[in-house]
Every structure is written in C-alpha cells, then in structure tokens.
Amino acid sequence: MHCAALKEGEGMQQPQGPFCQSCAMPLQKEEDFGTNADGSKSEEYCRYCYQAGKFTEPDISMKEMVDKVVSFLVSLEKMPEAQAREIGTTFIPQLKRWRE
C-alpha cells in the first residue's frame, strides 16, 4: 500500500479552478466556457457571461453580480443566504473582470 495514486490524480482534478473571471462559476466541462469573437473558446469566462467576444450583460455592476451569484447559490445549491453572500462578497471582487 502506498499513496502514489493521490499524486498521480492531481493533474486531472484541478481543484483550484479555473473559474469564470466574471461570476466565479467553476469551468469544468467544455460547454461551460464562453466564446471569443472568432468562435474559439474563452479561457477566462463562462458561457453565461461571455459570448462571441462580448459580455452578455456589459453594464452589470459588481454588486449586481454578487446579488446574482447569491440568489443562484441559494436557489440552486440550497445554500443559506448568509453563507452564499459571504462567498459572493469574498470571491467576486477578486475576479479579473472586477479588479480594475
């Protein structure tokens, strides 16, 4: 018995992401990714935020995005509102779209 399997699995698991740099959704499947203007896959944004090289909601504010993510986590992930809000207000401001 040894623990080599743990090490070997690391490359496939990617526990650190990637995450959408707009809404923090984990980008796991090929269809989760947004698209660039030339139709290629965006490496940074999900398909809900970014399509054909443009943000789907270009005028949304960071606060509105936090509200969106909170209600998503509460309704779909059945997360308590306080916990969802803590995650939203912690993660969203760190994302590339909101850091400038």
* Separation of first and last alpha carbons in the chain: 50
Cα–Cα dist 46/9, whole Å:
25
Decide if residue 49 touches Zn ion (CB under 5 A).
yes
Q: Which helix (H) or strand (E) holds 35?
A: strand 33-35
Range in contact with Zn ion (rule: CB under 5 A) among 14-22, 35-43, 75-83, 91-99:
14-22
Q: Look up residue 83 and give its two tokens.
A: 């916990």
Site mask for Zn ion (CB under 5 A), range 70-99, x = bound: ------------------------------
- Residues in contact with Zn ion by the rule CB under 5 A: 20, 22-23, 25, 46, 49
